């Protein structure tokens, strides 16, 4: 986008991390109208611990996941459509592929994006510089890149849902190394591959919350993929995203039941852990680390299957140094299935935590009707037809027809009952969750 067009907006507002970074890019230069939140000159300077890259992970620099170091000197909303510099669509058609990762930006403002069919590197002007294509055989088997990318020391780090973790050259897209640290694949939602301090940190092994099948957190060498350490939480992790406190020696994260873990960054040893209040609960949301040494964790009071109609949730604040619970809110009517952010909502104001509250999205009522009632109706009609046809040879005799009445009627009766049950289930669910559809 063209930051020069943005400079006409005058008032100050807190901005989302990725948007702030995008608005700072104009043909490889940083616009002075977008500056650091602390008043320093320019906002493109990288975190000293993250090397020289502008946006090395899907949520920026590891120290600032959940809290942006940037702020706008402009009003909101601005006309983003008028600021569009370029866009890209798949050459075989707009719906040929799907984007699975947030954009990664290197020191030259080149952009790296993972899609269903592979990984692409774009120049700052939208030119495709290279394309690492996932081979057709693997794609036919349902293999794809399920995680947000990370970059470090000239390499792009990624993984596949079959369990492979690999590194590509940032310059050419060629393979640097590939390993398979687990035998159960890698989960397929929107987790992160984090590259920091020579380590590649991610979760491995496919997990299944409803079957209590958990996964592991692993640290691999960024140079060759060898295993440095692994950590197995009591509960699994979902959409794994670790945070790095100021001490530089630990990482903290939450599991899917809102348990909290602090782990030594060098050895993977457990420093402290806070077990979840209820191990049967599940959320695909994640935490945020504040600049005040507080770790904000989200929770739901429902299991995975009930996440679209959750019965409550909470926001919990823990002290990073020792895991002590400082405060919590557990009176939300529905669960939290997102990442909170931490920031100041105005000059001179204290820190605020902002989060979305609400159940996961689910299929619209009419689609539920198609999936549930549709098959029921088809089976009902089919079984009724079978029952009717099975009675045809006996139609000549009233006595024979009476004898086989039970045989002919039971399938049709079962089909009718099945359709009735599906209809009642749909109606009750619709009254609660889709009143506008009625």
Q: How confident is the model at residue 17 (pLDDT cuts 50, 70, 90)?
A: very low
CA distances (Å), origin 296, targets 43, 242, 310:
25, 12, 20
Residue 10 CB-density burial (10 A; 0-12 exposed, 13-18 middle, 19+ buried):
exposed
Distance CA(398)–CA(392), nearest Å, equals: 12
* φ/ψ (deg, to 5) at 5: -70, -20
Summarised one tens digit per residue, pLDDT across range 70-111 is 776 666 667 778 888 899 999 998 888 889 899 999 999 999
Summarised one tens digit per residue, pLDDT across range 408-418 is 555 566 666 66
Distance CA(53)–CA(106), nearest Å, equals: 5
**For the packed helices 374-391 and 405-433, what is the interaxial angle rounded to 10 degrees?**
170
Residue 294 CB-density burial (10 A; 0-12 exposed, 13-18 middle, 19+ buried):
middle
Residues whose CB is less than 8 angstroms from the CB of residue 239 and which lie 6 or more positions away in sequence, other chains included = 189, 190, 191, 192, 284, 285, 286
Q: What is the pLDDT of residue 65?
A: 84
Q: Is the pLDDT reported for residue 18 higher than 60?
A: no
Residues whose CB is less than 8 angstroms from the CB of residue 368 and which lie 6 or more positions away in sequence, other chains included = 426, 429, 430
Distance CA(325)–CA(199), nearest Å, equals: 30
* φ/ψ (deg, to 5) at 356: -85, 145
Q: How confident is the model at residue 334 (pLDDT cuts 50, 70, 90)?
A: very high
Distance CA(378)–CA(254), nearest Å, equals: 45
Which is more confidently placed, 245 or 188?
A: 245
Q: Give percent of the chain above pLDDT 90.
A: 51
Mean pLDDT check: name the lowest of 213-222, 266-275, 341-350. Answer: 341-350
Residues whose CB is less than 8 angstroms from the CB of residue 302 and which lie 6 or more positions away in sequence, other chains included = 281, 282, 309, 310, 311, 312, 335
Q: Is the pLDDT reported for residue 56 higher than 50?
A: yes
Are 60 and 17 spatial neighbours (Cβ–Cβ below 8 Å)?
yes
Distance CA(131)–CA(90), nearest Å, equals: 12
Distance CA(16)–CA(19), nearest Å, equals: 6
Q: What is the pLDDT of residue 126?
A: 95
**Alpha-carbon radius of gyration of the chain:** 27
Q: Is the pLDDT reported for residue 6 higher than 70?
A: no
Mean pLDDT for 131-152 is 93
Q: What angle do CA 96, 102, 105 make, to 5 degrees?
A: 115
Q: Is the pLDDT reported for residue 159 higher than 90?
A: yes
Q: Is the pLDDT reported for residue 37 higher than 50?
A: no
Summarised one tens digit per residue, pLDDT across range 207-259 is 888 888 899 999 999 999 999 999 999 999 999 999 999 888 999 999 999 99
Q: What is the pLDDT of residue 380?
A: 61
Q: What is the pLDDT of residue 388?
A: 61
Mean pLDDT check: name the lowest of 83-92, 121-130, 171-180, 193-202. Answer: 83-92
Count of residues for the chain?
438
Residues whose CB is less than 8 angstroms from the CB of residue 143 and which lie 6 or more positions away in sequence, other chains included = 134, 160, 161, 162
Mean pLDDT check: name the lowest of 242-256, 302-316, 370-384. Answer: 370-384
Mean pLDDT check: name the lowest of 36-45, 97-106, 317-326. Answer: 36-45
What is the signed CA dihedral for 135, 141, 147, 153, rounded to 10 degrees? Answer: -30
pTM: 0.76
Range with top average pLDDT, 49-53, 304-308, 385-389: 304-308
Task: Return the structure tokens found at 430.
Answer: 């619709």
Distance CA(340)–CA(332), nearest Å, equals: 14
* φ/ψ (deg, to 5) at 295: -115, 115
Q: How confident is the model at residue 392 (pLDDT cuts 50, 70, 90)?
A: low
Q: What is the pLDDT of residue 430?
A: 63
Q: Is the pLDDT reported for residue 143 higher than 50?
A: yes
Q: Is the pLDDT reported for residue 148 higher than 80?
A: yes
Q: What is the pLDDT of residue 437?
A: 52
Q: How confident is the model at residue 374 (pLDDT cuts 50, 70, 90)?
A: low
Q: What is the pLDDT of residue 28?
A: 34
> Residue 332, Cβ neighbours under 10 Å: how many?
19
Q: Is the pLDDT reported for residue 22 higher than 80?
A: no
């Amino acid at each position: 986008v063209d930051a020069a067009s943005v400079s006409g907006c005058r008032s100050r507002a807190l901005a989302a991390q990725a948007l702030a970074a995008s608005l700072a890019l104009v043909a490889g230069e940083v616009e002075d109208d977008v500056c650091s939140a602390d008043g320093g000159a320019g906002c493109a300077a990288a975190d000293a611990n993250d090397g020289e890259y502008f946006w090395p992970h899907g949520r920026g620099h590891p120290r600032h996941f959940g809290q942006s170091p940037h702020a706008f000197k402009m009003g909101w909303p601005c006309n983003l459509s008028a600021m569009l510099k370029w866009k890209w669509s798949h050459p075989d058609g707009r719906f040929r592929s799907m984007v699975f990762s947030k954009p990664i930006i290197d020191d030259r403002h080149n952009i790296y994006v993972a899609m269903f069919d592979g990984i692409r590197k774009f120049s700052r002007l939208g030119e495709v510089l290279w394309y690492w294509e996932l081979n057709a055989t693997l794609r036919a088997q349902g293999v794809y890149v399920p995680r947000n990318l990370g970059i470090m020391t000239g390499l792009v780090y990624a993984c596949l849902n079959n369990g492979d973790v690999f590194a590509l050259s940032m310059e050419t897209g060629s393979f640097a190394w590939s390993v398979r640290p687990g035998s159960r694949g890698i989960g397929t939602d929107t987790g992160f591959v984090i590259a920091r301090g020579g380590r590649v940190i991610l979760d491995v092994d496919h997990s299944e919350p409803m079957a209590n099948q958990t996964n592991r957190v692993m640290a691999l060498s960024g140079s060759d993929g060898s295993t440095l350490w692994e950590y197995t939480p009591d509960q699994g992790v979902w959409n794994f995203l670790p945070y790095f406190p100021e001490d530089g020696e630990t990482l903290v994260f939450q599991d899917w039941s809102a348990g909290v873990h602090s782990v030594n960054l060098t050895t993977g040893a457990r420093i402290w852990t806070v077990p979840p209040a209820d191990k049967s609960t599940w959320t695909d949301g994640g935490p945020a680390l504040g600049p005040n040494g507080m770790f904000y964790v989200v929770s739901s009071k429902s299991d995975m299957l009930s996440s679209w109609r959750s019965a409550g949730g909470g926001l919990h604040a823990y002290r990073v140094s020792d895991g002590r619970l400082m405060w919590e809110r557990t009176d939300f009517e529905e669960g939290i299935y997102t990442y909170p952010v931490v920031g100041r909502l105005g000059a001179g104001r204290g820190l605020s935590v902002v989060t979305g509250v609400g159940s996961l999205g689910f299929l619209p009522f009419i689609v539920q009707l198609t999936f549930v009632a549709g098959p029921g109706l088809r089976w009902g009609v089919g079984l009724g037809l079978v029952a009717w046809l099975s009675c045809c040879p006996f139609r000549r005799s009233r006595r024979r027809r009476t004898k086989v009445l039970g045989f002919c009627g039971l399938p049709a009766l079962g089909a009718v009952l099945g359709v009735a049950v599906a209809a009642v289930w749909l109606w009750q669910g619709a009254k609660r969750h889709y009143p506008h559809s009625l």
